[in-house]
Amino acid sequence: MRERPGPTRPVRVLELSGSDSRERRDDLATEEPLEIRLTAPGGARKTVAITMRTPGHDFELAAGFLHGEGLVEPGGIAAIGYCVDDDLPPEARYNTVTVRLHGPIPDLPALDRHFLTSSACGVCGSASLDALRDRCHPLPRGGVELTPDVLYGLPESLRGAQGVFGKTGGLHAAGLFTAEGELVAVREDVGRHNALDKLVGWSALNEGLPLDRHVLMVSGRASYEIMQKALSAGVGVVCAVSAPSSLAVDVARDFGMTLVGFLRGERCNVYAGQERIIR
């Protein structure tokens, strides 16, 4: 049986520097597919997603994905494990996760098309803003409030907690912080949406939802998928190192979220929800 893949993989590279060259070892961030299957009492089963991810925290990834897409609430999950179905070759065991439900598999149109996701773009053809309004409500006013000094410290705290990025330089991260800037948890992945799914899944499996008293910090940009998943988890403040997309700003403004972009050093732009920033 194939060994369980880790978050990094060593390779030999030729390093060029000016007129010099040398061979050396390098560590790459692992990228492999993960299939997420649902099973229900009575034996029904269905594949709902295939995503390219960095191995590690796979059960959290599955739980967070299902919650973020509105497919399964945390209380509906009976157990999560690596798949041992007869139709699965042994070498794929650690790339397939089975989520056993307490009740039937949801009868949703989304399940008929499956979710095919990549580590770069998030869920292809994901729900539109109108569909998001059908299943999510605007967040209540208030909740988390934070100062600019707390904001300015988030990127460095997140970067300091990225152990695998320190080895590979090739991973995104999502970090959960208190309003005082204390790091609660961080997850890494080649896909920024996967990193957030892992973080939300960790919270869901530990009965930590909603995350209305926390601040989310993500590496890279703030996309629609990031805002959708944060909203589903009840996060009121989302911060990103890079720019937000136009749809990300629309989600923030429509649902009463605070969105901070270009958070670098002691500078940032607040695109929505300025009332949560104490000046």
Domains annotated on the chain, with CATH: 32-125 (3.10.20.10), 148-276 (3.40.140.10)
Question: Was 60 annotated as part of a binding site?
Answer: no
Q: What is the pLDDT along the chain (279 residues), one digit of tens a residue?
A: 567 888 888 889 889 999 999 999 988 888 999 999 999 999 899 989 899 999 999 999 999 999 998 888 888 999 999 987 777 777 788 999 999 999 999 876 555 444 555 554 444 334 467 778 888 889 988 789 999 999 999 999 999 888 776 677 778 899 999 999 999 999 999 888 999 999 999 999 999 999 999 999 999 899 999 999 999 999 999 999 999 999 999 999 999 999 999 999 999 999 999 999 998
Question: Was 183 annotated as part of a binding site?
Answer: no
Please give the distance of CA 33 from its chain centroid, rounded to a whole number.
Answer: 15
User: What pLDDT score was predicted for residue 123?
Assistant: 44
**Tens of pLDDT, residues 230-269:** 999 999 999 999 999 999 999 999 999 999 999 999 999 9
Question: Was 188 annotated as part of a binding site?
Answer: no
Question: Was 266 annotated as part of a binding site?
Answer: yes
**Tens of pLDDT, residues 49-73:** 899 999 999 999 999 999 998 888 8
Which residues carry out catalysis?
A: 121
Of 92, 118, 83, 63, nearest to 5 by C-alpha is 92
Count of residues making up the chain:
279
DSSP secondary structure letter of residue 99 = E
Question: Was 159 annotated as part of a binding site?
Answer: no
Instruction: Report d(CA 271, CA 187) in Å as an integer.
Output: 25
pTM of the predicted structure, to 2 decimals: 0.88
Where does 40-189 show beta strands of DSSP type E? 45-53, 77-82, 96-101, 115-118, 122-123, 172-177, 183-189
Question: Was 65 annotated as part of a binding site?
Answer: no
